[in-house]
Amino acid sequence: MPKVVDHEERRRRIAETLRRIAADEGLEAVSLSQVAAAAGISKGQVQHYFPNKDAMLRYAVRTLRDQVERQIAAGTATAPPDLRTVLVALLPLDEGSRTEALVATAFLWRAFKDDEIAARFRTGYEQLRAGLAALVEAEQERGAFPAGLDSGREADLLLALTTGLADAVLLGHRTGPEAVELIELHLARLAERG
């Protein structure tokens, strides 16, 4: 009886291997051969799923985004999501999220050369922005934030704050707890404006 192969699982495994290499050595170090060796499969098997490095990178971006969405969902699974929880989930506070942030940064640089990856980043940003705007509106509805706030602008500011803090944590300029404290300070200031 022939062996049944879960092709999507194989693709995900290859993408996970690629992300590990990218986190450790950068995207320039990624090659079909290196990914194959690190995944414990042949280069031909990698090429069966991905004809070239660009195709492999694009798939890895898609699965990275899915993984980040799952991480945010897990962080908000016990209750309706609140703004603080979602913002904190975007910070690299443990080894797994640090690796994801390093890989996302590497892919962001790749997006300057690859229109498809750039489009995925733009789509992801707009979806995250819309989600944050909805959470700001929820805070307004419950009276925690002033009704006059522009939820879209606040979402932009919150994204800028959080991505800046994520970079600061990655570079060692801030610790994770300091970044969380700064997010909490900003949210408290928003609440005080009411």
In degrees, rounded to 5, the angle at the alpha carbon of residue 30 between the alpha carbons of residues 61 and 25 is 95
Q: Would you say residue 71 lies in a domain? A: yes
Helix (H) or strand (E) holding 125: helix 115-141
Q: Would you say residue 18 lies in a domain? A: yes
Encoded tokens for 79: 């209750």
Amino acid at 63: T
Coil, strand, or helix at residue 6?
A: coil
Q: Would you say residue 1 lies in a domain? A: no
Query: What sign results for the dihedral spanned by CA atoms 132, 133, 134, 135?
Result: positive
Q: Would you say residue 2 lies in a domain? A: no
Cβ(64)–Cβ(100) under 8 Å? yes
pLDDT per residue, tens digit, the chain (194 aa), is: 667 678 889 999 999 999 999 988 988 889 999 999 999 999 999 999 999 999 999 999 888 877 777 766 665 565 667 899 999 999 999 998 999 899 999 999 999 999 999 999 999 999 999 999 999 999 999 999 999 999 999 999 999 999 999 999 999 999 999 999 999 999 999 998 76
Contacts 24+ apart (CB under 8 A), 157-161: 158/83, 158/87, 158/132, 158/186, 159/125, 159/128, 159/129, 159/132, 161/186
pTM: 0.82
CATH number of the domain residue 122 falls in: 1.10.357.10
Q: Would you say residue 102 lies in a domain? A: yes
Distance of alpha carbon 2 from alpha carbon 98, whole angstroms: 40
Q: Would you say residue 44 lies in a domain? A: yes
Q: Would you say residue 24 lies in a domain? A: yes
Domain that holds residue 18: 7-192
Amino acid at 121: F
What residue has token string 């069966």?
48
Number of domains making up the chain:
1
